[in-house]
A and B are shown apart, each in its own frame.
Chain A
Amino acid sequence: MASRSALGRLLDSDVFHSFRGNPVVVVSAAITAIFVLAAVFAPFVTPYNPYDLAGLDLNDAFTPPAWTAEGSARFLLGTDDQGRDVLSTIVFGARVSLLVGFCAVLFAMTVGITLGLVSGYVGGAVESVIMRVADVQLTFPAILIALLIDGLARTALPRDLHSEIALYVVIFAIGIANWPQFARTVRGSTLVEKNKEYVQAARVIGLHPGLIMMRHVLPNVLGPVLVIATLSLGFAILAEATLSFLGVGVPPTRPSLGTLIRVGNDFLFSGEWWMTIFPGAALIILVLAVNLLGDWLRDALNPKLR
C-alpha cells in the first residue's frame, strides 16, 4: 500500500512501457502538462497581466507579432484591440478553457458513474429508466444539448444573475451533455463485476449495497472510465470553445480561447490575423494533444489489442 511500491509498480507496468515506447504520446503528454502548468500558474508565467486595466496602453493596440516589420519586441505574439499582449491572453484563456473542461468532465463523470453503478447493480425498473434516458439523449449530438441548456439558462435566468453564474452554467451544460457515455460504460462493467465472487462475498456478509458499490465495484470499473474521461476532456474543451465562439459560453469578462477567437474574428478582414490565429493554434494543439493521449490510453488499456 505504500506509495513508493505503487510508483514502482506503475513504472514497471505494461502501460508505462507502452508510453515510453511511443514518442507521439510522450510529446502529447508533455504538451498537455505544459498547458496545465501554464494555466495554473498563469499570473506568474505571463509577461503581462492582460486584465489589469492599469497596465494597458491603447497606444499598443494592434501591434503585430514581434518578428514582423511593425512588431515590437515587447509583445511576442502581438497585441489585440485593447493593447493586451496576445500571448498573455492565450495563457489566461487556456486557464478558463481547461477549468471549464476539467470541471465539466468531473461533473459528467460523477453523474455518469453514479447512475451507471446504480443501474448496473440494482437493475430492474431503475435500470430501464436510466438507460432509456441515456439512449434518447445519445441520439442528440452532445454539442446541441449543451447549446440548448446554455441557451435556455440564458433566457430563463435574470441577466445579472446569469452573468454571475455563466461559468457554472457552461460547466453544467457540457457536463450534462456528456454523462450517458460514462453511465453506459460503468453499467456494462458493473454487470460483469456484480456476479464475481468478491461482490457476492461482500453481499453475503451483509454489507450495505451502497458500500459494496463504492468500495468494491467502483475501483474495478474505473479503467474504462479513465479513457472516456480523457477523450471527453478534448470534447469538453472544444464544446466550451464552440459555445463561447457562438457568444453563449463563458462571460466576456473571463475570456476563454473560444472567446478570444470570436473577438479576433471581427478583425480578420482588416488584416489583424494574429488575434485569431494564435488562440486558434493554441486550442488545436491542446485538443490534439489531449485526444492523442486519450486514443493511446484506450489502446493501451484494451487487452484485446495487445
Chain B
Amino acid sequence: MIAFVIRRLLQSVLVMLTVAFISFALFRYVGDPVLIMLGQDFTQAQYDTLVSELGLDQPFYLQFAKFIVAALQGEFGISYRLARPVAQLIMERLPATLELSLVAAILALCIGVPMGVYTGLHRESWLSRFFLTISLIGVSLPTFLIGILLILIFAVQFGVLPSFGRGDVVKFGTWSSGFLTTSGLKALVLPAVTLSLFQLTLIMRLVRSEMLEVLRTDYIKFARARGLTNRAVHFGHALKNTLVPVITITGLQIGGIIAFAIVTETVFQWPGMGLLFIQSVNNADVPVMAAYLLLVGFFFVAINLVVDLLYYVVDPRLRVDRGAASGH
C-alpha cells in the first residue's frame, strides 16, 4: 500500500513538473517579457539592466526553479492585457467557475445515475429506448450548440431566463457567490444545464452498461435463487457493485467539467476562469495562460491522485492484483 502511494505520488509530481515546465517555457520564451515591460522607447542599457533585474540572464535551471518557487507562493506575474496581478485575476474568477461546475456535477449525478439504473433494469421498455436515443443525441450535440439553443428558447423566445452573466452576487471576503440572490440563481440555470448535459449522458450510459454487466454475474443469479426481492437484488447487490467504476469515472469527469466550462462560459459570457483563458488566448496574454495551465494541471493531477487512491481503498481485489501484476 505504502509503496503504491509513494509511486503514485512521485508520478503526480513528475506530471506536475512537466506541466510547470511547459508553463514556464511559455512564460519565458513566448514573446519577450522585457520588450513588453519597456514599451516603445528604451536604450540597450535599460534593456540589459531590466534583464539582469528580472534574472533573465541566469542559467535556465535557476530560472525554472525560481518560477516554481514563485508559483508555489501564488506569484504568476502581471497580465499583459489587464495590467493586474494574475493571481488576483484568477482568484476573482475562480468562485464563478467552481459554483457553476459544482451545480453541473450535482445535476449530472442526480439525474444520470437514476436514468442509468432505470435503463439497465428495464432494457426493453420504450422509456429506456427514449433515454438512450436522447443520450446519443446528447453525445453528438456540441456543448456550445446546446447553450445557443437554450438561449434561443428561454432567453430570446420566452425571455424567462437571462442569457449572459452571473446576475447579482454576494461577497464573502474574496469569494463571490451567486447562490443567495434570485437573479444569481436564475442566471445559473442555463449554463449549469448546458454544462451538465454531456456528463449526464456519459454517467447514464456508464451506469447502464455496468448494471447490465453486473446483472449477468453469478452472485446476482444466486441472490435471485435465494428468493430475495427484486428491490434487494437490484439496489442491495447490483447497484452497489456498479458504484466503484461510477465513482472513478465521475471523479475523472470533474476534469471534463472544468474543460467544458471554457466553452459554456464563452457562450454565456460567464465571468469565470474559462472565459478569462479564452480572452487571454485571443490577446496573447501569456502570463494568464501560463497560470491557467498550471492551475488546471494541478486540479487534474490532484483529482486523479485522489481517485486512484480511493479506488484502491474501495476495491479490495486491487490490492492483490496490483501486487501480483506490478510488472505491467
Give chain A's interface residues, CB within 8 Å of chain B.
136, 139-141, 143-144, 147-148, 151-152, 154-156, 234, 238, 241-242, 245-248, 261, 265, 268-269, 273, 276-277, 280, 283-284, 287-288, 291-292, 295
Contacts and interface: CB of A to CB of B under 8 A. Distances in A.
Interface residues of B, number: 39
B30 A155 contact: yes
Contact of A147 (B141, B255, B262): B262
B256 A141 contact: yes
Contact of A139 (B145, B156, B252): B252
B282 interface: yes
Nearest to A142: B259
B145 A283 contact: yes
Q: Which of B145, B277, B286, B293 has the most CB of A within 10 A?
A: B145
A234 B26 contact: no
Contact of B145 (A136, A140, A234, A261): A261
Given A242-B143, A261-B148, A268-B152, A247 B278 contact: yes
B170 to A, nearest CB: 29
B281 interface: yes
B241 interface: no
Given A147-B262, A154-B281, A242-B263, 8 more contacts: A139-B304, A147-B259, A151-B277, A154-B284, A242-B144, A261-B144, A276-B152, A288-B140
16 contacts: A139-B304, A140-B255, A140-B300, A141-B260, A143-B259, A144-B262, A144-B296, A242-B142, A247-B282, A261-B145, A277-B152, A280-B149, A287-B140, A288-B136, A288-B137, A291-B139
B194 interface: no
Contacts of B260: 141, 143
A245 B147 CA distance: 12
B151 interface: yes
A236 B284 CA distance: 25
B289 A246 contact: no
A41 B305 CA distance: 50
Q: Is the interface of A mostly helix, strand, loop or mixed?
A: helix
Contacts of A155: 26, 30-31, 281, 284, 286, 289
A173 to B, nearest CB: 12
B31 A246 contact: no
Contacts of A268: 148, 151-152, 156
B136 A292 contact: yes
B15 interface: yes
B101 interface: no
A141 B286 contact: no
B275 to A, nearest CB: 10
B196 interface: no
B266 interface: yes
Contacts of A284: 137, 140-142, 145
A151 B137 CA distance: 29
Contacts of B304: 139
A143 B31 CA distance: 25
Contacts of A147: 259, 262, 281
B162 to A, nearest CB: 12
A291 B136 contact: yes
- For the complex of A and B, the 3 pairs showing the least CB-CB separation, nearest first, are A144-B259, A151-B281, A141-B259
A268 to B, nearest CB: 6
B32 to A, nearest CB: 12
Interface string B112-155: 00000000000000000000000011011111110011011000
A284 B296 CA distance: 29
Given A139-B300, A261-B148, A288-B136, A246 B266 contact: yes
Nearest to A273: B152
A246 B141 contact: no
B140 A245 contact: no
Contact of A245 (B151, B252, B263, B296): B263
B156 A152 contact: no
